[in-house]
A = this chain, B = another copy of it.
Amino acid sequence: MDYQQRINKIQAVLRRKKLDGLLVSQPENRRFLSGYSALDHGIGETAGLLLIPAKGDSWLLTDFRFKLQAEAEADFLHIGLYPKGLLALLREMLPDLGIRTLGFESHYTLHSFAEKLNGLSEKTGVRFVPTTDLVEKLRVIKDEDEIAKLRASVDLNEKVFEEVYSTIGPGQTEREIALIIESTMRRMGAQSPSFDTIVATGGNSALPHAVPGMKAIETGQPVMIDMGLILDGYCSDMTRTFVIGEPDERFQAIHRLVRRAQRAAIAAIRAGVAAAKVDAKARDIIAAAGYGQAFGHSLGHGVGLAVHEEPRLSSRNGKKLQTGMVVTVEPGIYIPEWGGVRLENMVVVREDGCELFNKNSTWLDL
């Protein structure tokens, strides 16, 4: 991957916006621009930031603990350590680099840190300017290299599902199955899950974001599994809902309905179509069957280095889809006490349609 080329693009944006530089704190943005793969421990404990001047060489600022990894992974960058904290280092560096106006990422900067930047501004005269989505805008369109990685991530995720699915039986608890899934992911080569695996059975599957508990699988009850992994930095995300034993009429009808809504939405995806229109394709089908209130979330979201990113497939997003965007399509119907059905696939938007990453082999058509 030619990270310098991505940085060049950001530098052009900075010059257009009359910014002398940009401080990149958002972890996926940082990785996208540098290849540096260290993980933050939450927003309060960063593994480092990029300092990208509008012209010239860029810097990776980090602390002692990450020095060797930074040098190994981002050897085209200068590495700056901040033993006395980031603010002290910035105070030293910014004048040397001639930076008078520095952008920071408003969506990944704590209010308390922005206040500290204000304090530094008073001392140094450097203006700190909140920015949003400068790097995200580059990330939203995937190149073929990234698409290949996303495809591979989905492939592996499906292999894990197939392997675990064949072993699921009555009596196993949600937590037990989630554990087996996440272990299998790692054993088969994933870096980690891309989010906490959801295994929800019976009435628990009525919670779209259930936490796996000690409830055991019962024959005839819905089982919802929402799982994803990270491979080579790129995320997958997939949901399957099924029944061990014979599904009853109601489950079959709802599953068929959700699947029909999903197929219709996928068929509508191509470059130039508004995201809201794709959401409506699925939502209208579910609403027409009388379940409109039971589908309370949006249809899907972008996936890339982050498991949830732009674009949102939601009724509130009127923007048009573009070639190279990668999204999930995941309609669901949730009925308190009874349970829920959600089905989720991932596609990449193409000029005349979309490519479905998921293979048919894990489809549970009823």
Contacts and interface: CB of A to CB of B under 8 A. Distances in A.
A210 B107 contact: no
Please tell me how many copies of the chain the complex holds: 2
Interface in A67-109: 67-69, 83, 104, 106-109
A115 B107 contact: no
A336 interface: yes
A333 to B, nearest CB: 13
A38 B209 contact: yes
A297 B111 CA distance: 26
A110 B112 contact: no
A66 B198 CA distance: 13
A27 B105 CA distance: 22
A250 interface: no
Nearest to A43: B43
Given A69-B210, A69-B211, A182-B186, 14 more contacts: A37-B211, A38-B209, A41-B195, A42-B43, A43-B108, A44-B308, A45-B308, A64-B296, A65-B297, A68-B207, A106-B110, A107-B110, A111-B114, A175-B186
Interface of A: 37-39, 41-45, 47, 64-69, 83, 104, 106-115, 130, 132, 175, 178-179, 182-183, 186-187, 192, 195-196, 206-211, 296-297, 307-308, 336
